[in-house]
Amino acid sequence: MPAVTQGSPRTAPSVFDLIGNTPLIRLSSFESGLRNVELWAKAEWRNPGGSVKDRPAARMILDGERSGALTRDKILLDATSGNTGIAYAMIGAARGYRVRLCVPENVTPERKRILHAFGAEIVFTDPMEGSDGAIVRAKAMYAESPDLYFYPDQYSNPGNWKSHYDTTAPEIIEQTNGRLTHFVAGLGTSGTFVGVGRRLREFSSSIRLISVQPDSPLHGLEGLKHMATAIVPAIYDPTLADEDLGVATEEAFDLTRRLARAGVFVGISSGANLAGALQVARQVSDAVIVVVFCDGGEKYLSERFWDERGSSGADQ
């Protein structure tokens, strides 16, 4: 299959209309030693907010507008580890909504600065409680003042996974000419995996669906959840995956550095997802594997792992 090429420059009424239609990128430098396996990354950092979370944020906001739950006098409130919050803040700024976000205090400084740049109000929560602490705080704030807020609750809102069912999955099917054999994505809210997975399952029951999560509750994979010890999102469907893989933080860090050395500058969850994809790729032959690369590396530049030396030797 030829590489996806960028079409003619397009115009858009607003930044909202630039969301989606992200390219697939061939990861040829990671295919060495595999048995006729193609590795393709869905480049979700190409969304205007810089991540896969632009899709569900846009869908939940549109659903809120259509239902009348989101009006100009409401404050958009939700819990986030960063990327969905950035998407809310970007779209809120473009459409004239106030945005208030519950965010773990230890998210990267880059994410905090982006949220401030878009004008979002941030309520910091206990870093030791991770995204679960932010969820608890947001729920409590909404319960105290339900008339003040529009609370989409990305962890429970079906618009989250439906955004990927309606857009991300059809794009992948078209971009691979229906040839994909495996789909790999990490679990955070689980919206990407559930939405894409359900649509792919309808397209072809032979496509293998592989979810990825941290291999322990104490991990450094920002945006991903260790489901056994976290508040499980209501939209998560544990029966969907053909295989669920645990990934070590250090392996994800190493692969994130290796991707940058290969010219693909992405975030930590993308390294984790690639680790899962490579586990699969080494066990199969004659396969077309699509893995989600959730966001770009710019939001993680302050992380110390960039200065560490990986086991691959790619940093030497």
Active site includes 139?
no
| Rounded Cα gap, residues 312 and 271, in angstroms | 13
From the candidates 81, 269, 270, 299, give the one annotated as an active-site residue.
269
Q: Tell me the H-state helices in the chain.
A: 54-67, 83-95, 109-117, 130-144, 158-163, 169-175, 191-203, 249-261, 268-281
Distance of CA 36 to the CA centre of its chain: 28
DSSP per residue, 53-81: THHHHHHHHHHHHHHT---TTSEEEEE-S
Q: Are 275 and 252 contacting, i.e. CB atoms less than 8 angstroms apart?
A: yes
The kind and range of the H/E element at 288 are strand 285-293
The pair of three-digit structure tokens given for residue 100, joined into one six-digit string: 């208030």
Instruction: Please report where in the chains the tokens 């969304």 appear, as a residue.
Output: 47
DSSP 241: -
Our CA dihedral for 259, 54, 108, 224, rounded to 10 degrees, sits at -70
From the candidates 42, 51, 53, 270, give the one annotated as an active-site residue.
53
Active site positions, annotated: 53, 269
